[in-house]
Amino acid sequence: MLATAGLAWLTRIGVHSSYAADVLPPLLLASTGLGFVMSPSMNTGTAGVAPSDAGAASAMVNTGQQVGGSIGTSLLNTMAVSAAASYLASHLSPPIIQLCADQERTEASPTAMQNESSLLLLSSGCLGFP
């Protein structure tokens, strides 16, 4: 839930947001939440495995984490680029293309963060975490 709250907080960043006040606190919150998730998930993935198979089980858990992270990153980037393209298409006018560049980047990231925080909230609900 901490990671979800941190990612939801990141949706509020804008063009004039500062790093120290608007980006760092939600990143710290999200990273704390993810820190509470990673160790127990690794422990759960290797629990009950025979000592002779512990290396293979650990490798499978790490592989699953890497593949899931890669797929998740590509999906979130696709969502961000789609949001940026939609923003530019609706605000496209030759004299203001350069002016829209900064705003377009800040429209894409919150959309991806909203989707990611929703997925985290859904997955924690499916796993039965309060």
In DSSP notation, 95-122 reads GGHHHHHHHHHHHHHHHHHHHHHHHHHH
Residue type, 109: S
Q: How far apart are CA 63 and CA 51, in angstroms?
A: 19
| Residue 75 CA to its chain's centroid (Å) | 10
Q: What is the pLDDT of residues 66-109, one digit of tens each?
A: 898 889 888 888 888 788 777 777 766 655 555 565 655 555 66
Residue whose C-alpha is closest to residue 117's, from 86, 79, 87, 89 = 79
Q: What is the pLDDT of residues 108-120, one digit of tens each?
A: 666 666 766 776 6
Q: Which residue has the higher pLDDT, 60 or 104?
A: 60
Residue type, 66: Q
Every domain of the chain and the residues it spans: 2-43+53-61+74-126
Q: How far apart are CA 38 and CA 114, in angstroms?
A: 21
CB atoms within 10 A of CB 115: 17
Task: Tell if the pTM clears 0.95, that is, is over it.
Answer: no
Does residue 6 contact residue 93 with C-beta atoms inside 8 Å?
A: no
